Amino acid sequence: MADSSSSSPLAGLIKSPSLMALAAIVAAAAVFLVLQAANDPYTFLQALMKSFGLGAVYALIALGFVLIFKATQVVNFAQGALAMSGALFVSFMVSDGHIPFTTIRNPLVDMSPSWLGWFLSVLVALAVAAILGLIIERLTIRPMVGEPLFSVAVLTLGLEIFLRVFNNDAVKIEFRSLEVPWGVDGFNIGEAFVSWSYIAAMITAAVAFVAVFFFYRSRMGIAMRAVAYDQEAAMAQGINVGRVFAIAWAAGAVLAAIGGIFATQPPVAQTGAVQVETQLIAFRTLPAVILGGLDSVQGALIGGLIIGFAEIMAGQYASGQTDILGAGYPLIVPYVVMIIGLLIRPYGLFGTPEIRRV
C-alpha cells in the first residue's frame, strides 16, 4: 500500500523549500500582526477597516475584469479609462448639473433630500457608462470575434489610450468633484476612525458580488458560462454570443465606473474628485485579478481583499522603514504578493489551469 503521508499537504510543504520559506514568512507576519493588535488594538482596527475598504474597491474593479474575460477570453486593458470615464459622468451629473454629452439639465440635483438626488444621478451616470461599454463592444470587439486574442488585447490597450486623452482633458485644469454625500466624514470605534467611504465601498462590493452570484444562475448567466467554456459549442447550441459579449462589456463598464467613483475617495485618494491618477486604479487592481484568477468571480473578491490587506498593513507597520524601502513602497507590496502567488499557483488562487492568457 502506498504511503498516504507522502501525498499529504505537509509532505508537499516539506519537499518544497520555497513553500517552506513562504510558510515561514506568512507565519512570522501573522504573529507580528497579532502582537501589534494586542499592543494597540485601535490602530490595528483602523488599519483593518481601511484595508477592507481598499480591498472592496479592488474587488469591484477586478470583478469587471473577470466578467469580460470570462465572456471574451480577453484582458480588458481599457478598464482604468472606463473607470475614470464613469466617475466623470457622475461629475457631469452632480457637479455640472447636466446629462453627459448633452446640454440637458439634470433635474435630480434639485431633489430633496439631496442624497437621494445624488444616488439617482449616479444611476443615470452608470447607465451612460453601460451604453459606452455597449458601443465599445459593438464597434471594436465584436468585429474581432475569431481573431487572435493578442490582437484583441492590444486593441483594448489602444482604447485605453484613446479614452485617456479625453478623460485627461476634462481634469487637466482642475479636478472634477463628485460631491459624495458622506464627504470626508466617518465615525469612531473607540480611538479608531472609520471613514464612511470604507463602509460604502464594502456595501457596494457586497451587493455587486451577490448580484453576479444570482446572475450566473439566470438563463443569461448560464449562457455566459457556456460561452466562457466553449464559444463554438455555445453558438452551435443557439446561444447568441454577440449578446453575451455585449452584456459582459456593459456590466464591466458599470463595475469600472463604480470602482472609479470609489477611486476618488479614501482610502484610495483623499480629494473626493476625479483626477488624472483616477485611471490608475485598474493597474493597481491587476495584482488582485491575477492573484485571484482571471476567470474566477470568487477569486476577484478574495484577491481584492488580500491585496488591500497587504497594502494597508505594510503601509501602517513598515512606515518607519521608508529610508530603506522608499516612500512609495506600499504600492509595490501588491505586486510582490502577486509574484509570490504566481510562483505557487501560476493560474491564480481560484483560476482554471486551462485558461488562455495574453
In percent, the amount of the chain with pLDDT more than 70 equals 93
Q: At residue 357, does pLDDT exceed 60? A: no
Interacting residues of 290 by C-beta distance below 8 A, sequence separation 6+: 303, 338, 341, 342, 348
Confidence of residue 17 (pLDDT cuts 50, 70, 90): low
Confidence of residue 48 (pLDDT cuts 50, 70, 90): very high
Predicted pLDDT at 5: 47
Residue 195 β-bridge partners: 186
| CA–CA distances in Å: residue 294 to residues 79, 153, 158, 343 | 14, 14, 21, 16
- Reported as a single tens digit per residue, the pLDDT across 179-211 is 999 988 999 999 999 999 999 999 999 999 999
Stretch 213-230: mean pLDDT? 86
Question: In the Cβ-directed half-sphere of 267, how many Cα atoms lie within 13 Å?
Answer: 27
Stretch 124-133: mean pLDDT? 96
Average pLDDT value over all residues in the chain: 88
Predicted pLDDT at 1: 46
Stretch 291-314: mean pLDDT? 94
Q: At residue 273, does pLDDT exceed 70? A: yes
Question: In the Cβ-directed half-sphere of 313, how many Cα atoms lie within 13 Å?
Answer: 20
Predicted pLDDT at 9: 53
- Reported as a single tens digit per residue, the pLDDT across 323-352 is 888 888 888 999 999 998 888 888 888 988
